[in-house]
């Protein structure tokens, strides 16, 4: 286990929706300069956990710690103000708007001495072009609508925006789902750069083959509970697949089957 205080920690978090226990006593540590992968089957509780970490839902019980201090996240804005940025699957991009406009959506740089200064589009275009070029997306015209970009490029715009505006924790909700191999690679490279800059990344995915090469630790959820937390050095890709697929339950099933076969053999 890596020492030191985690940047962000959820401790024994429980969240119920009516009779459904979406999360049961789940803990996760997010460390600066590491990628923490959050994995689990459909309905395992991944979305609920990231909603708790990003201030969208309040847990029924449990605690959130940031920089060693216990905090309450009252809203997504509150989380963002602290440097916890989440890129949800819809990416919060406006397809028909130019790339640079999307990059600054709601946070436009202004010119002039007064707060009512006008939007400095030239500067905004330069910044957006520079930031995207840094992650390997070299586009000539920042005025082209964001919808003309590929899925991976759009994902990178959303990530670059969060990083540029000072994310300390970056939560990515299935950023590589529905992407081809090359596109997923583009996004994962970008995620690695975010890690190298000291950001604590939470990467939510179904895909073990995307998670394993980039992850430092792996949190596996199962039916709302914590199946386990593993460090990369203690885990093979096969091991991670087994944890995802049910781990202990599958092992028990295999043992039961072996016993049955032995019994059949003995009887024969």
Ligand X SMILES: Nc1ncnc2c1ncn2[C@@H]1O[C@H](COP(=O)(O)OP(=O)(O)OP(=O)(O)O)[C@@H](O)[C@H]1O
Contacting positions for ligand X (CB under 6 A): 17, 20, 22, 40, 42-48
CA neighbours closer than 13 Å in the CB half-sphere of residue 80: 12
Q: Give the shortest CB-108-to-ligand X separation in angstroms.
A: 33
Rounded to a whole number of angstroms, the minimum distance from the CB of residue 209 to ligand X is: 17
Q: Is the Cβ of residue 40 or residue 98 nearer to ligand X in the bound state?
A: 40
Rounded to the nearest 10 degrees, how much is the dihedral formed by the CA atoms of 193, 195, 200, 201?
Answer: 60
Please give the DSSP secondary-structure letter assigned to residue 30. Answer: E
Nearest-approach distance from CB 125 to ligand X, in angstroms: 36
Residue 40 Cβ vs ligand X, minimum distance, rounded to whole Å: 5
User: Which one, 52 or 156, has the nearer CB to ligand X?
Assistant: 52
Q: Which residue number, 6 or 40, has a Cβ lying nearer to ligand X?
A: 40
Q: Shortest CA distance to 25 belongs to which of 40, 14, 10, 9?
A: 14
Tokens 């920089």 map to which residue?
67
> Nearer Cβ to ligand X, position 47 or 86?
47
In this complex, which beta carbon is closest to ligand X, that of residue 4 or of residue 19?
19
Q: Which two tokens stand for residue 182?
A: 């090359």
- Strand order from edge to edge, sheet including 225-231: 84-87, 169-173, 200-205, 35-40, 217-222, 225-231
The span from the CA of 161 to the CA of 124, in Å, is: 12
By C-beta, is 50 or 84 nearer to ligand X? 50
Rg of the Cα atoms in the chain? 21
Q: How far is CA 78 from CA 10, 55, 90, 245, in A?
A: 16, 7, 20, 36
CB 165, min distance to ligand X, A: 26
In angstroms, what is the minimal distance from the CB of 232 to ligand X?
22
């Amino acid at each position: 286990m890596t020492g030191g205080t985690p940047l962000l920690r959820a401790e024994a978090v429980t969240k119920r929706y009516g009779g459904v226990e979406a999360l049961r006593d789940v803990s996760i540590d997010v460390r600066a300069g590491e990628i923490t992968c959050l994995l689990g089957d459909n309905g395992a509780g991944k979305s609920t956990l990231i909603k708790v970490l990003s201030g969208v839902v309040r847990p029924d019980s449990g605690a959130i710690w940031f920089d060693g201090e216990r905090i309450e996240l009252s809203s997504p804005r509150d989380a963002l103000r602290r440097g916890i940025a989440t890129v949800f699957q819809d990416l919060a991009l406006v397809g028909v708007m130019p790339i640079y406009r999307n990059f600054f959506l709601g946070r436009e740089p202004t010119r002039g001495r007064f707060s009512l200064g006008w939007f400095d589009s030239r500067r905004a275009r330069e910044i957006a072009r520079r930031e995207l070029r840094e992650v390997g997306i070299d586009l000539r015209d920042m005025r082209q609508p964001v919808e003309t970009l590929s899925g991976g490029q759009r994902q990178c715009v959303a990530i670059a925006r969060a990083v540029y505006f000072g994310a300390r924790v970056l939560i990515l909700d299935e950023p590589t789902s529905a992407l081809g191999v090359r596109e997923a690679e583009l996004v994962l490279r970008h995620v690695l750069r975010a890690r190298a800059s000291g950001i604590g990344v939470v990467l939510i995915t179904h895909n073990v083959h995307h998670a394993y090469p980039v992850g430092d630790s792996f949190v596996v959820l199962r039916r709302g509970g914590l199946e386990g937390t593993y460090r990369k050095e203690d885990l093979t890709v096969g091991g991670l697949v087994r944890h995802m697929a049910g781990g202990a339950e599958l092992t028990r099933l295999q043992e039961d089957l072996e016993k049955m076969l032995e019994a059949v053999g003995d009887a024969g």
